[in-house]
Amino acid sequence: MDATPHWSYSALNTYLQCPMKYAFRYIEHAPEERSGACFAFGRAFHAVLSERAIRGSEFTLDDAKENFFAVFKAETEAAGPALTYKPDETFDGCVSKAGDMLSVALESWQDDYTVKSVAESFSVTIPGVERPLIGEFDLVVEEGGKEPCIVDWKTSGSRWPAGKADFERQATAYCYAYRVQHGHTPLFRYDVYTKAKVPQVGNWYTVRTEDELTRFAELCRQVERCVNAEAFYRNESQMNCGDCPYRDRCRKGGVK
Ligand code: SF4
């Protein structure tokens, strides 16, 4: 990603989840104390789907499994001693689970004839915000033969509940960026692959209204003002702190 100062959906979301966590990650660039294997899994799975979108239907399940193994191995090795598995997780178990999920992904692939772009990067300005908002659309397709639709791939431990996609801030950020870059607001679709015993894919469509995009821009202005004022307080909760990669450091004293 761009080394010049910028906002990403992930940075915004981290600040909104816990400002102290934001400071550790984006101000201090503190090393992670622990890094769940699920993140390496998600990145590797994502890399394979991107490869599938680029190479088309020639890309086989064996290619996908081989690709996953290579990326997952590199990701887990890069995490070093910080890497943590859940009690019932192992490297081989993750590889096997990914194989089952990739089989579902390739069988249910629906975007070969409608692709507009794969891994399209964006950098847009938001009025009143100093830093640009940057990111990358996993895939953009033409829904119904004409309407642009951003597709984002996710892995999840369980099936998404109905309505979740409508509140996902990432979809709002990406629709905002697409509208700035292309002049109109697209549809958004999450393809969510579940790690269930029998993996499934859920296609969750959502749209963003003009008011939602306006509120998103206002939120960005507010977050940037807070960061510029160094408002890095702790937002302690079981959900936030349970697997926080900076928990030990936070308990000892917070940011410098
Ligand atoms: S341990 Fe909790 S309060 Fe501390 S940085 Fe992490 S999420 Fe924030």
Atom of ligand 1 nearest to the CA of 236: 3
Question: For 23, which DSSP code?
Answer: I
Among protein residues, the one whose CA lies closest to atom 4 of ligand 1 = 250
Q: Convert the pLDDT of each residue in 195-221 to its tens digit.
A: 988 999 999 999 999 999 999 999 999
* 13, 16, 17, 21: residue to mutate for ligand 1 pocket, most atoms within 8 A of CB: 21
Q: How far is the CA of 175 from the centre of ligand 1 (A)?
A: 29
Average pLDDT of the segment spanning 25-50: 95
Residue written as token pair 């928990």: 247
Rounded alpha-carbon distances, angstroms, from residue 204 to 53, 163, 189: 19, 9, 5
Is 100:77 a contact under the CB 8 Å cutoff?
no
Average pLDDT of the segment spanning 21-38: 94
Average pLDDT of the segment spanning 86-114: 93
What is the four-CA torsion angle of 220, 223, 227, 229, rounded to 10 degrees?
110
Domain regions of the chain by residue span? 9-109, 115-224
Q: How far is the CA of 81 from the centre of ligand 1 (A)?
A: 21
Whether the pLDDT of residue 3 is over 90: the answer is no
Looking at domain 115-224, its CATH class is alpha beta
Among protein residues, the one whose CA lies closest to atom 2 of ligand 1 = 241
Q: What is the pTM of this model?
A: 0.93
Secondary structure (3-state) at 197? coil
Q: How far is the CA of 16 from the centre of ligand 1 (A)?
A: 12
**Cα–Cα dist 233/225, whole Å:** 14
Q: Convert the pLDDT of each residue in 138-192 to its tens digit.
A: 999 998 768 899 999 999 999 999 999 999 999 999 999 999 999 999 999 999 9
Q: Convert the pLDDT of each residue in 232-254 to its tens digit.
A: 999 999 999 988 999 999 998 86
Provide the pLDDT for residue 252: 87
Residues with CB under 6 A from ligand 1: 18, 20-21, 234-236, 240-241, 244, 246-247, 250
Rounded alpha-carbon distances, angstroms, from residue 45 to 41, 49, 103, 170: 6, 6, 12, 19
How many C-beta atoms lie closer than 10 Å to residue 206's C-beta? 17
Q: Convert the pLDDT of each residue in 8-19 to its tens digit.
A: 999 999 999 999
Per-residue confidence at 256, pLDDT binned at 50, 70, 90?
Answer: low
Per-residue confidence at 28, pLDDT binned at 50, 70, 90?
Answer: very high
Whether the pLDDT of residue 2 is over 60: the answer is no
**Cα–Cα dist 93/182, whole Å:** 42
* 241, 248, 249, 256: residue to mutate for ligand 1 pocket, most atoms within 8 A of CB: 241
**Cα 245 from chain centroid?**
17
Percent of the residues in the chain that have a pLDDT greater than 90, as a whole number: 89
